Structure 1
Amino acid sequence: MQDAKEEVRARLAIEDVIGEYVELKRAGRSFKGLSPFSGERTPSFFVSPEKNIWHDFSSNKGGDVFSFVMEAEGLDFKGALELLARKANVDLSLYQNDKARDIAAKKKRLRAANEAAAHFFQHSMLQNQHAVEYVFKKRAINRETAAAFRLGYAPEGGDMLVKYLTNKGFTRKELQDAGLTNRFGGDLFKGRMMVPLMDGAGEVIGFTGRIIRDDPKAPKYLNTPATLLYDKSWHVFGLSQAKEAMRTRDYVVVVEGNLDVVSSWQAGVKQVVATAGTAMTLHHLKTMGRLTGNIRLSFDGDKAGIAATERAIPIAEEAGVSLTIISLPDGAKDPDELIQQSVASWQAAIDTAEPVVDWILRQYSTRHDVSTAAGKRAFTTAALEVTKALKDPVEQEHYLQKIAEVSNTTLETLQRKMSTREEPDKQYKKVAHVDTSNDESRYAHHDSVLALGLVDSALHELFANTESALFVGEKRQAVAAYLRTSHGALQDTPEELQKYDEYVKILLLRADARYAGWTDTDRFHEAARLLRRIKDEHKKQQKQQLTDQLRDAEASGDETRVRELMQAIQTLNKEIHS
């Protein structure tokens, strides 16, 4: 059922599932709340959408969305999978035995077909002078960018792609299922610059084709239809190319056009993605929210772009991300056009992104005549819908005052109007009774020092002199052994520790939540202190074992053994820190 588990995991945002039990508030790239497993008053429960992991410092428990539901509902894995599958609308019967193998095999073939098509399009572009001139001269795309986005060209006539792929062993049914053929079984894309659509890992799952010849009857853009691999409501274009810059800069710019992304990436502003020619969805924002909670939206300045921005606002509230709006200067209809004029102007527009509430209030104030009673009613109703979603009372009052100024209405009147529209407080699910007196909590300090070692390469010397056997449990010993010979701050699980991927992700989340704001010196001293504690604990265990042996030697009258054991105990006493 591994494929079923991954399908359910892909369809559900971990923060949404846990958010039904815990009131979560964003804390950097993670979410934070009170542990549902203890009566703590200070939040120490963290959820990382990026790593798909949760960790509870109060009980030292953690894991993925399945382990949380198992803990919260008192279920075994099968029960948790069935519960989450219903929530994700996943039919588990499709993943049983032969059906599961069939779907996995089919997905593998479709990926291979798309990959082969991408190679074909890349090669075809280099063989066609018209395509080369369009991509490199007219669009001013350089070779590095073309390679990074794997740009290509679909030949004008015939069914060259179909012939190429069938010669490689793909059936016509596979090409149809991959979205590469038209209703007649021929090439879907002809005479177009090809832009591969890639998933977060950089694998090709579909294509966008931009026509490069003058043909008023043909659509400018042609996209892969929905397939087993590609769903436009889930796909974020450019994510694989942008994700590192998103982590580093801690924000992402969302544009409408795929070529806006390509132009921005080439200009050095790489934390830019697009919604692949479709309206913004909750899935898009959840996907981006796993890497950063700061979303800067730059849609076209026409009526359609403004409407799309409006639609994104309530979705952003539901996704739990911070949304700001980028306004392009006059004379630029989209980011690509602005970038061609001035890269500095594009970066300046990004840097001066306007808070979403300010932006929407400005839009509403231009649409309604607030000098009339009807205009005031319409403006305040729309504006209060946005303002009441704000959770911070100071921020809420700030915008209420702004609405009052624009509409020439008293603050008290607006507060009264908003109070009549208040929604009931959200009710959270009760968790099953859970015994938090578990062995894992006894070794929280082991996890803390290992977490430090994974994110701070300056601690390598400390771990090089620490035996991995001092740590309790196979997973901890494996990480300690890795740290003895490897160093360098991690972002993801290294190949050597893939067996313990979930535990490593928990450690990385632990490090981010607890030590992100510490100085290098403080982290070094904390790691040294924790390692001393672990070594002392190990020596105390050795001392207890020797003490037990000493009693046996004294009872048997073995004087030689008694002297040896007493000497060993005295040596340990000197080594153990008080």
Structure 2
Amino acid sequence: MTTNRGRGARSVDFSEVRERVPLEWFFEAVLGATPKAMSGTIRFPVCPQCGPSSKHSVKVSCKDGKWKCHACPGKGDVVEAAAKHWGLSLKDAALRLVNADQEVMQSYEPPKARPALERDDSALHEVIAKLLAVSQPPTNAALAYFKGRGIGEAIVKEAVKRGLLVVLPHDPELCKKYLVDVAGRDALIASTLWREDAKAPAAAFRPLMFVSKEGKAAEFRIMRLTEPGEHKSLRYGGIHPWAWVNESQDRIMLTEGCLDLLASLAMGTKRSIIGLPGCENWRDDWFAKLKGRDVLTAFDADEAGLAATQKITPVLQKAGASKVDAYELPKDAKDINEQLILQGPHCKLDFFETQESTEPYRDATLSLPGCDQWISLQFGTLKGRHVKLTLGGPKTRNDAALERLVSTLKSGKATVSVANPR
């Protein structure tokens, strides 16, 4: 595989490395990624270039010895994957690969892809349009599910009215019959919603259908707690965002997924919202109309979300956004919806965005669920104002948290007074 030349330099036969080291082995053994067999390809949740996916995403496809990430420009063969992951030159990465345990690699059996399915996008669009046309009011089961997520009935009904949400029958057999009656089995197969060798479409077990802008894609979500290894949602169609036009169209919010979009509304934001189908799944042209607008990103507090925030910020700035901020989740919440569940109905994204009037306040009384339940972004509009804090009784007071709160307000150029209850 390698030979000595000249002054001890080692040459590398890259084609032999590719033959001896299976690409899928590298993803499983080195990156620690679990493979997922898809139609015509094997998918993995980790990219050698941009790292792990957001939750439940398998962004890297592997086929015929080549890999491609659908969230970044990363692509190549096993040598290029190793070079990206280890930060080495192609030659050094190849040399490191051939030092791997050959017996292990010889006994390795790569996962097999499912037979390739050719998706008919026109059939998918037709199925989505038919389901939207007969969309029914949300069921009591759906309302109960959303209530458990902190999202109220009014928001759910408005999402259905806007065509963002379609609620299917929650019983799988009834849902299967409904899908066949509305769209037809042939159309469901052509759209890849139903595998021809399956007893039922996977969507029959995921009765919450979130429809992307312009109805070009849909995500079907389970309406219960998921079992270990079970995917709570499945997306069909290309990469397309969800959108919610709100009271303010000059202030925009980007969320990771449609559930966080609805949770943000429940938390009182007046911003218009773009829901991304995963924090890494977006295109620059989606943000072409954000020139002069105030943009707030609100991705999950995981490695992928933090990386995506850093990646998307300069893109938004280049698009001409007048301001780009990143929402800071409380330390005990992994995403917007979890914050809403943990903190309850008093949880607010931005105190001043929840006010009916957008006129500046010279004096403001700020009532929080607790003096330790806030984020600094809530106070971005308080410069030059006097803030009066009303606290709970002595038994519930946290003096250290209060001190941090007052310090944060003052650092934002606000004056502060504290009203103590008798």
TM normalised by structure 1 equals 0.34
Normalized per residue, which structure has more strand? 2
Which one has more relative contact order, counting CA pairs under 8 Å at least 6 apart?
A: 1
Normalized per residue, which structure has more helix? 1
TM normalised by structure 2 equals 0.46
Over alpha carbons, which structure has the higher Rg?
Answer: 1
